[in-house]
Structure 1
Amino acid sequence: MPDIKLFFTPGACSLAPHILLHETNLDFTPLLIKPNGLEVDFPSDYKALNPKMRVPVIVVDGEVVTEVPAICTLISQLSPNNKIMGATPLETVRIYEWLNYLSGTVHAAGFGLLFRPWRWTVSGDEEVHVGIKEKARENIRAAFELIEGRLTEESTFALGDELTAVDAFLYPLYRWAVVSAFDLVPYPKLGSLIRRLEGRESVRIVLEKEGLERVTEL
């Protein structure tokens, strides 16, 4: 059995691999990196592990892997029967299409701007930060409209009837939208997907371990 360690921060994008590790029933050691408001209290030796100073990080038999799409790929390789990166070559391509969009646009150019506008400007002017946040909200609404349009009422999950890495990544993004007081009524298919996810044992376990509450009603 491989030695697997996951470094995570409660409620962060590390929720996605945390869920997938439980979905695949892989034996792993969760290692908490404590939040400090909108920033994170990284231990002094963390930079040697991940110079980017971000979560998540997964370490498998001493090999360090960062970035959500790469970590999801590694989890899939460790548990190929679960098909979390797709059951066919085309499904795998579509999953990477989704993950790149969620990571680069929704996460970075959306919530990254909204939560930490100071990272995106050299200006200390609060009005500049307010403008960045407004643009972030515009980006997020546009992204959620696109996501809603890609989902179908006939499918249980984003790409069909089997849970994939896409669903696991959509989950923290939706949670952030709830925390940020977005009007989510215009996205009923996405809301139904999140409700189904919160009904899964893997998500219930992760929420308990990370000390988080569900964001949908039973």
Structure 2
Amino acid sequence: MVQLWVSPGACSLLPHILLNEINADFELVIVDIVKELGFPEKYKEINPKKRLPILILDDGTVITETVAISTKISQMAPDHHLLGSDDLEIVRSYEWFNWLSGTFHERGFGSFFGPHRFADDEIAFDPIRRSSYAFIEQCFSDVEERLTGVYAVGNAFTAVDVFLYVIYRWGHMLRLDMKGAYPKYTKLVLEVTKRAAVSKTVEKEGIPLIEDNRADGADLQKYKP
């Protein structure tokens, strides 16, 4: 049995869904980094980077980083073709993964919700958030433009679709008009949410299926350029 550490609604939602998708036998550890105000110091020995998700294999091996963990889960059930059904589709999956994790997630949402990681002076925080808000909107538009079919890679469901679903949920935190502005993206997300693994996962994490409510009460649209 493997062990997966997650925070509700965060990027760790991706590997959580994938484990349920392959019907894996796993133990779930939930650490709410919103309520904890970050990664608890007491768990630093497990992941010195103080980030989630964390996957611990049955032999004690610790794997960190969302894409690496998703790759391992794909290897656990190769017949599910979570990264694609041929070599080119696998390459395309990593092309999406690198951009979604390193650019959209980190440069966009990472800087918006964690401006302190990019500047020491609090005076710079609001300008960073305004810049990040515009960058996030551009990234959503880039996804919309790039999608050509029901799924992101080839003609079948992959882990990329789940990652896109996870980030789509975050758009609701910024009160973006996701359905109106991004119809192709919305179509993909609605297809993903039909899967039993998705409904099972969000129920376990105690979060809405689509409308991420973690920022309820916060006036985040004030950062809209």
- Scaled by the length of structure 1, what TM-score is found? 0.91
Select which of 189, 194, 203 maps to 2:189. 194
Matches within 5 A, 1:78-93: 78-93=76-91
Deviation string 1:80-131 (CA, Å, 9 cap, x unpaired) is 0000011111111110000000000110000011112122101022xx2111
Q: Which runs of 4+ in 1 moved over 4 A?
A: none
Matches within 5 A, 1:114-193: 114-125=112-123, 128-152=124-148, 155-184=149-178, 185-193=180-188
Q: Does 1:50 align with 2:50?
A: no
Closer, same or farther in 2 for the Cα pair 1:41/1:135, shift >3 Å? same
Q: Does 1:212 align with 2:210?
A: no
2:56 counterpart residue number: 59
- Cα distance in 1, alignment partners of residues 131 and 106 from structure 2: 12
RMSD: 1.5
Closer, same or farther in 2 for the Cα pair 1:162/1:38, shift >3 Å? farther
- Select between 8-17 and 115-124 the one with higher mean Cα deviation: 115-124
Identity of aligned residues (%): 41
Q: Is the 8 A contact 1:33 1:40 kept in 2?
A: no
SS class of match (2:45): helix
Q: CA deviation at 1:74?
A: 0.2
How many matched pairs? Answer: 209
User: Unmatched 5+ residue regions in structure 2?
Assistant: 212-225
For 2:160, give the aligned amino acid. V
2:102 counterpart residue number: 104
- Cα distance in 1, alignment partners of residues 11 and 35 from structure 2: 15
